[in-house]
Structure 1
Amino acid sequence: MRLTPYLTIDGNAREAIQFYEETLEAKILEILTFAEMTDNPDSIPEGAKDRIAHALLQIGESELMLSDSFPGAPLSRGNHITVCITLNSIGRSKQVFEALQQGGQVKMALQETNFSPAFGEITDKFGITFLIYTDSQS
């Protein structure tokens, strides 16, 4: 299990990435736009296509994930930082998701996506939002 902070930025994630490259000597490992994250880029509104849907940066021995908010999605203090839990088996992802669900609220059911065999979003009973990401087909 690996925990990674995940920042959501209001439309200027590219600027944040450049800032972290300069100030924290971050190395870009991955960047995907909203258009690149889907099999049907025409389904993404023009104002969202070039926004960052996912970026992964290496900072020293740590990783930082970030994205732009989707246009029109509310972004406020408290929901712009989440914790991504990366697991290497679907079974373990289900187990962690179900445990965090106790007294919490499911924001996106754990499901297969085009980037993960089991991905979901949940806010626990303390108000902390977690992204559950599975990085293998196990």
Structure 2
Amino acid sequence: MARLLPYVILDGNAKEAVAFYEKALQANVIGIQTFGEMPENPNFPLPDEAKDRVSHAMIKVGDTDMMFSDTFPGTPHVVGNHVTICIMADTKEQATEYYQALQEGGKVTMPLQETFWSPAYGIVIDKYGVTFQISTESQ
């Protein structure tokens, strides 16, 4: 069964937000990874100003996970559009079904593809303007 998770996108202060929510919501920090800690990609060199920004963080509030990241330097950050919904699918096939259904009448921001953290990950803004990050937990 898939899970829906809130995903908050910030502009360079995701570490601060994680610490805030850890205290405010009595959350447990599951992990924080910066862009600088990700595997290097020779086709896409990482600028110095991106290295300390959060590429992915997760906290647990009760039984619910909440995720965070910072924008990549130069990417516009619009308050009001910075909370997305992440669908964690059980399988690649399930992720593909969600992705195809949500893109109808909407806009693909990132094609569904294999990444180093997921066998199927993509981003779609649906026809109502809601941004969905579709990810897969297993093969």
Same fold judged by TM-score > 0.5? yes
Q: Percent same amino acid among aligned pairs?
A: 49
List runs of 5+ in structure 1 lacking aligned partners.
none
Give every structure 1 segment of 4 or more consecutive aligned residues whose post-TM-superposition deviation is greater than 3 Å: 39-42
Q: Single out whichever of 40-49 and 114-123 deviates more from structure 2.
A: 40-49
Q: Single out whichever of 31-40 and 123-132 deviates more from structure 2.
A: 31-40
List runs of 5+ in structure 2 lacking aligned partners.
none
Q: What is the SS of the residue equivalent to 2:128?
A: coil
Tell me the TM-score normalised to structure 2 length.
0.94
Cα distance in 2 for partners of 1:128, 1:77 equals: 14
Q: Counterpart of 1:69?
A: 71
Tell me the TM-score normalised to structure 1 length.
0.95
Q: CA deviation at 1:125?
A: 0.1
Q: CA deviation at 1:2?
A: 0.1
Q: Counterpart of 2:8?
A: 7
How many residues of Structure 1 are paired with residues of Structure 2 in the alignment?
137
Q: CA deviation at 1:79?
A: 2.2
Q: Counterpart of 2:95?
A: 93
Q: CA deviation at 1:21?
A: 1.1
Q: CA deviation at 1:29?
A: 0.6
Q: What is the SS of the residue equivalent to 2:36?
A: coil
Name the amino acid aligned to 1:121: I
Q: Counterpart of 2:33?
A: 32
Q: CA deviation at 1:38?
A: 2.8
